[in-house]
Amino acid sequence: MQIKEFLKKLSEASGVSGYEAGVRELVREEFSQYADQIRIDTMGNLIALKRGEATQAPRRSIMLAGHMDEIGLLVTKLEKGFVRFSTVGGFDLRVLPGQEVIVHGRRDLPGIIATRPPHVLSPEEREQTMPLDKLFIDVGLPEEELAQLVRVGDVITLQRQFTELAGNLVAGKAFDDRAAVACIAYCLQHLATMKHSWDVYAVATVQEEVGLKGALTSTFGLMPDIGVAIDVCHGNMLGVPEVDTVNVGGGPAIAFGPNIHPLLYARLVETAKAFEISYQPDPTPGPSGTDAWAMQVTREGLPTALVSIPLRYMHTTVETLSLKDVERAGRLLALFIASLDEAFAQALGLKSE
Amino acid sequence: MKELIKELTEAYGPSGNEDAVRETIKRHIAGHVSEMRVDALGNLIALKKGQPQSGIEPRKIMLAAHMDEIGVIVSQIDEKGFLRFAPVGGVNPLTLLGSRVIFADGMIGVIGRERPEKPDEFPKIEKMFIDVGAPDKEHLTRKVGDMAAFLRPLADLGQRLTAKAFDDRIGCAILVQTAQELETTPHDVYFVFTVQEEVGLRGALTSAFGVEPDVAIAVDITTTGDTPEAYPMAVSLGAGPAIKVKDRGMLAHPGVKNWMAETAERLGLPYQFEVLEAGTTDAMAIQTSRAGVAAGVLSIPTRYAHTPSEMVDYNDVQNAVKLLVGLLSGPVKI
Amino acid sequence: MLLLKELSEACGVSGNEGTVRQVILDAIRDRVDEYRTDALGNLIALKKGNGKTTRKVMIAAHMDEVGLMIMHIEKEGSLRFHPVGGIDDRVLLAKKVLIGENKVPGVIGAKPVHLLEPKAREQVVKFKEMSIDIGVSSKEEAERLVKVGDYAVFDVPFVELGGALRTVKGKAFDDRAGCAVLIELLQDRYPVDLYAAFTVQEEVGLRGARVAAYSIAPHLAFALEGTICDDLPKKGDTSPTTVLGKGPAITIMDRSVIADRRLVELLIDTAEKNGIPYQFKQPALGGTDAGAIHLSREGVPSAVVAVPSRYIHSPTSLLSLNDLENTVQLMRQTLARVNDLDLTR
């Protein structure tokens, strides 16, 4: 598997929160090459199990979570041949005017988020951002035809081609968090050539962008011994203070704080140092805003960790990251998993069976 | 059904104090269900056991409607006996001016307001108070912590009805009526009347954990886009019950949404799809219970939501009952 | 109250409660029948009932305090930080802190008044504009003493102020006061199985209580807190949040929970029968572990009892030892009766 090719496929697929089927198939195809078992749960999470080699039963397990949903839009009303919409997930509305989209009606309809040309706007109007109820999508169809093809509730995805930039950097939509899904696939590929005692549940979760819902329910169903979420974090950008970012190309960010079990953090850092994988500490003083936050407090709780891929321009269609960071994160996770043994379980205080 | 609706909307039941509503519902639903219980937080859980029908896979279905309404809670009492208060649930300060409220023991109060600093200042709850007409503090029987609900009788406008607390007594009424009209079903149907939805979907969270349903449908209100300069929304009063696609808190399970729409079409019932910009329902809490539940919402279009004069269309209400009976009588197709 | 001093001075910001847990464990080890530490770090101890009871009562007090985390070290050695839990930016300027395992001292600097324009003095300084000075002049020197990710607490020693209310001042009375009460309660045995949960991470979202309640699965619960005591003179004020010296505060409703009416009535009745002063916490303010506990599994009837503490979530708080002891008394007498409380509906 090539990270770049897989990420491109994932990025260009449609899978808005709650409607992830389009991207789930791609993930299933890829994960099934390394997994012993795959299933889909009630909410739509894709759960792949790669068994470990330990002889005790039940075997210890680790769950990796990367979310496959993306932010998107939804049709709320048809008005005079134009489409009104609502947002699914967190949007800065300012990136929308002029954005190309696909309205998934009876068939896929390319469209544009309409803007009025600068010539007809007053200087004051141009100073203001456009609120949601003033935005429309134009698919270029007359009213009657539109009504035949599109209805309230149809999903809309943002359109953007995957782009290769210089130096192993790539840009596209939905790298949050499909980069993590690609990373997990890469990790599984590595694990296939290594020995590991613990069972690995690789979960492509749903609806993270609207409340970590897939992580909550999949973790409840699996109750792994430990959980590691893989997500993206803010990469260095012009105009953003250094304290708020990590370096794109500087390696995966490993989080530390209340959401993270200190022993998991220590083991991840130890592994990175031992195998000379560049990494960056990621101090996280409160909610991590990722699946790890939900996993940690499921049922009686479990030790959790978070590994993030540095990403610029998050939640836009030009999210930018370094493929090297994805690769490093995948390798780090594989080596970490291979290091898990019963002694570590004891150190974590996990119940003996 | 109008009598039932009147009785339910006029009952006293701010979040955490739903006893009177629960007793009313119990009376109407007993005899139409196999068993009833009340759980730790006060949710009423009534089960209509399924009767096996060949060819139909029996499922565990949970229907939820919340018994609580928004209200106010006494937070301070001043030397003269005026009561300062805080909101219980999402209370719009504008709806308080000139309103009457009623306490659990039937005492009535009116809401007054300090003179505003600026004439066009937006009314703030901190500058309002409740006056129960006590001559002084010594003769006052109210205490800090007492809760009051809005006082407003239901008015029958013919095809439309207006009352306080259609959110969500109309959902409760629909569930009761459905339990009465549904003669047999292949499924185990749990009619769950929840508490404390308005303060955080709390009853739904705990009742769902206990019931462990396969499928859940919450019945609650939604707003409409058909009044002057309303927020653009494709839902109108009288165009049929609404099938929710999304609201601020959750995305309906597409399978449940489609099953509801297909059933409505098969039965020739009007319906509309709904996307609600602000607000959510019990279904949000039920959906992420345990390992996940396929959840949807049947919404009753309601104008002037969260005011003492909410308005619904009686045909929408009756069609909602027909749709639910239709759904529960056949196979679950999600 | 020697134990309150030790508890108050121990460092335990949300996510790093180990030191506090150790202090508590040392105090209760010989008083309880069993104890364990769970995946998030909660300390859960069981004191079995003295009768034939099967009723499980959970009492929670949280070990964590609000504090800071070091986020970044500037080239010239000053430290950027972020609050852990809710801290008002305005209490941070010109305070002393202790950083990391080694308690490295630092100060949160503030621009001298001489150098400020009058207008600037009216603006709130946001924490992002502040930094901690540990006395070094380069990043390399700083890295020998502290690291990114280190936790910092306010440097506030515990002092007894005395007076009729027997006031004490110190940091983190929210919720070391609650912990102190719970430790006292564990001296006795009650007619119910008492699960004392010293929880973690309350300040960042009631996290510890949530998982502790799930694993204990109690029949009913109490949360013990050090609560808002906002009795400063204010315009138009008749009943502030709580008043220092007026006794334990009983919650009717806050932002996280509507207390179970039967438990509230039991508390009031117990206070009156035993001549214990009590007050009601002003409704609709704040949140506690009870918010998470009462929503666990199929629901748990819960109540909150708190020691009024002035200035919580700022470096130095104040409470009355009379209130603390009355809180212990109220809970002790309530626990003696709670087995007989009818919880059927």
B-chain CB neighbours of A84 within 8 Å are 232
Judge if A139 and A250 occupy the same domain.
Answer: no
Q: What chain C residue is nearest to B145 in terms of C-alpha separation?
A: C252
Residues C310-317 have a mean pLDDT of 86
Q: Inter-chain contact B38–C345, Cβ cutoff 8 Å?
A: yes
Mutate to test the interface with C, among B144, B147, B197, B211 (most CBs of C within 10 A): B144
In the residue annotation, A12 being an active-site residue is answered as no
Residues B175-187 have a mean pLDDT of 96
Q: What chain A residue is nearest to B229 in terms of C-alpha separation?
A: A133
DSSP-derived secondary structure for A125-170: HHHSPPPGGG--EE-S--HHHHHHH--TT-EEEE----EE-STTEE
Residue that finishes a domain, picked among C126, C154, C182 = C154
**Residue C56 forms contact with A (CB below 8 Å):** no
Judge if C214 and C296 occupy the same domain.
Answer: yes
Whether A163 is covered by a domain: the verdict is no
**Residue C126 forms contact with A (CB below 8 Å):** no
Least confident of A230-234, B130-134, C42-46, C124-128: C124-128
Residue C235: its pLDDT value, please?
65
How close B319 gets to chain A, by Cα (Å)?
20
pLDDT digits (tens, 9 = 90+) for A77-93: 999 999 999 999 998 88
Q: What chain C residue is nearest to A226 in terms of C-alpha separation?
A: C39
Q: Which domain holds residue C77?
A: 68-154
Give me the residue from A76, A78, A217 closest to B275, CB to CB.
Answer: A76
Judge if A64 and A94 occupy the same domain.
Answer: no
DSSP-derived secondary structure for C32-97: -SEEEE-TT--EEEEE--SSS---EEEEEEE--B-EEEEEEE-TTS-EEEEEES---GGGTTT-EE
Whether C256 is covered by a domain: the verdict is yes
Q: Inter-chain contact C298–B40, Cβ cutoff 8 Å?
A: yes
Rounded Cα–Cα distance for residues B192 and B174 (Å): 12
Whether C159 is covered by a domain: the verdict is no
Residues B69-95 have a mean pLDDT of 94
Q: Which residues contact B274 (CB under 8 A, 6 or more apart)?
A: A152, B222, B233, B234, B235, B242, B243, B244, B245, B299
Whether C24 is covered by a domain: the verdict is yes
CATH code, domain with A116 = 2.40.30.40
Q: Inter-chain contact B277–A88, Cβ cutoff 8 Å?
A: no
Whether C305 is covered by a domain: the verdict is yes
Q: Please count the other Cβ atoms lying within 10 Å of the Cβ belonging to residue A271.
A: 21
How close A153 gets to chain B, by Cα (Å)?
6
Architecture of domain B2-69+164-329: 3-Layer(aba) Sandwich (3.40)
Judge if A181 and A35 occupy the same domain.
Answer: yes
Judge if A250 and A314 occupy the same domain.
Answer: yes
Judge if C211 and C327 occupy the same domain.
Answer: yes
Least confident of A10-14, A116-120, A267-271, C2-6: A116-120
Find the catalytic residue in C65, C184, C202, C225: C202
Q: What chain C residue is nearest to A254 in terms of C-alpha separation?
A: C149
**Whether residue A127 has pLDDT greater than 80:** no
Least confident of A15-29, A104-118, B181-195: A104-118
Q: Inter-chain contact B205–C282, Cβ cutoff 8 Å?
A: no
Residue C313: its pLDDT value, please?
81
Q: Inter-chain contact A257–C40, Cβ cutoff 8 Å?
A: no
Q: Inter-chain contact C258–B16, Cβ cutoff 8 Å?
A: yes
Count how many residues are written for chain A: 353
H helical segments located in chain A: 3-12, 21-31, 123-127, 143-149, 175-191, 213-222, 262-274, 291-296, 323-339, 342-348
Q: Inter-chain contact B288–A217, Cβ cutoff 8 Å?
A: yes
CATH code, domain with A315 = 3.40.630.10
At residue C240 the predicted structure's pLDDT band, cuts being 50, 70 and 90, is low
Rounded Cα–Cα distance for residues B16 and B145 (Å): 11
**Residue A137 forms contact with B (CB below 8 Å):** no
**Residue B334 forms contact with A (CB below 8 Å):** no
Q: Which residues contact A345 (CB under 8 A, 6 or more apart)?
A: A60, A225
Residues B255-282 have a mean pLDDT of 97
**Residue A211 forms contact with C (CB below 8 Å):** no
Whether C161 is covered by a domain: the verdict is no
Q: What's the domain count of chain C?
A: 2
Least confident of A114-128, B61-75, C157-171: A114-128
Q: Inter-chain contact B234–A152, Cβ cutoff 8 Å?
A: yes
Give me the residue from A42, A86, A216 closest to B294, CB to CB.
Answer: A42
B-chain CB neighbours of C294 within 8 Å are 41, 202
Residue C252: its pLDDT value, please?
95
> Nearest CA to B246 among B237, B238, B236, B234?
B234
B-to-C residue pairs, Cβ atoms closer than 8 angstroms: 68
**Residue C70 forms contact with A (CB below 8 Å):** yes
Average pLDDT score, chain A: 94
CB of C270 closer than 8 Å to CB of C305: no
Q: Percentage of chain A surpassing pLDDT 70?
A: 99
**Whether residue A352 has pLDDT greater than 80:** no
B-chain CB neighbours of C298 within 8 Å are 39-40, 206-207, 209-210
Judge if C188 and C305 occupy the same domain.
Answer: yes
- For Cα atoms C208, C214, C216, give the angle at the middle one, nearest 5 degrees: 95
pLDDT digits (tens, 9 = 90+) for C60-114: 999 999 999 999 999 999 999 999 999 989 899 889 999 999 999 999 987 787 8
A-chain CB neighbours of C69 within 8 Å are 257, 283, 285
Chains in contact with B, where contact requires at least 3 CB pairs less than 8 Å apart? A, C
* Of residues A131 and C166, more confidently modeled: C166
Amino acid B47 reads L
- Would you kindly state where each structural domain of chain B is located, as residue ranges? 2-69+164-329, 71-150
Whether C166 is covered by a domain: the verdict is no
Chains in contact with C, where contact requires at least 3 CB pairs less than 8 Å apart? A, B
Architecture of domain B71-150: Beta Barrel (2.40)
**Whether residue C2 has pLDDT greater than 70:** no
ipTM over 0.85: yes
How close C170 gets to chain A, by Cα (Å)?
24
B-chain CB neighbours of C282 within 8 Å are 75-76, 144
Q: Inter-chain contact A285–C83, Cβ cutoff 8 Å?
A: yes
At residue A118 the predicted structure's pLDDT band, cuts being 50, 70 and 90, is confident
Rounded Cα–Cα distance for residues A283 and A289 (Å): 13
Residue that finishes a domain, picked among C101, C127, C154 = C154
Find the catalytic residue in A20, A30, A208, A209: A208
Rounded Cα–Cα distance for residues C308 and C242 (Å): 6
CATH code, domain with C122 = 2.40.30.40
Residue that finishes a domain, picked among A106, A128, A158 = A158
Q: Inter-chain contact A297–C210, Cβ cutoff 8 Å?
A: yes
Judge if A62 and A148 occupy the same domain.
Answer: no
Q: Inter-chain contact A285–C210, Cβ cutoff 8 Å?
A: no
Rounded Cα–Cα distance for residues A123 and B152 (Å): 49
Q: Inter-chain contact A19–B246, Cβ cutoff 8 Å?
A: no
How close C321 gets to chain B, by Cα (Å)?
26
Residue that finishes a domain, picked among C91, C121, C154 = C154
Residues A129-156 have a mean pLDDT of 93
Task: Give B 157-216 residues with CB within 8 A of chain A.
Answer: none
pLDDT digits (tens, 9 = 90+) for C256-308: 999 999 999 999 999 999 999 999 998 888 899 999 999 999 999 999 999 99
**Residue B96 forms contact with C (CB below 8 Å):** no
CATH code, domain with C297 = 3.40.630.10
φ, ψ (nearest 5 deg) of residue B35: -150, 155
C-chain CB neighbours of B203 within 8 Å are 299
Judge if C275 and C127 occupy the same domain.
Answer: no
Judge if A217 and A329 occupy the same domain.
Answer: yes
How close C163 gets to chain B, by Cα (Å)?
29
Judge if C281 and C312 occupy the same domain.
Answer: yes
Chains in contact with A, where contact requires at least 3 CB pairs less than 8 Å apart? B, C
**Residue A352 forms contact with C (CB below 8 Å):** no
Judge if A235 and A147 occupy the same domain.
Answer: no
Find the catalytic residue in B69, B197, B198, B310: B197
Lookup: tokens for C165 = 């209310």
Whether C163 is covered by a domain: the verdict is no
Task: Give A 95-154 residues with CB within 8 A of chain C.
Answer: none
Judge if A231 and A126 occupy the same domain.
Answer: no
Question: Based on C-alpha coordinates, what's the Rg of chain C?
Answer: 21
Lookup: tokens for B65 = 């409607």
Identify the residue whose tokens are 């209760």: C28
Q: How far is CA A182 from CA A172, A216, A249, C36, C79, in A?
A: 14, 21, 17, 39, 36
**Whether residue C237 has pLDDT greater than 60:** no
B-chain CB neighbours of A45 within 8 Å are 292
Q: What's the domain count of chain A?
A: 2
Q: Which domain holds residue A77?
A: 72-158
**Whether residue A117 has pLDDT greater than 90:** no
Q: Percentage of chain A surpassing pLDDT 90?
A: 85
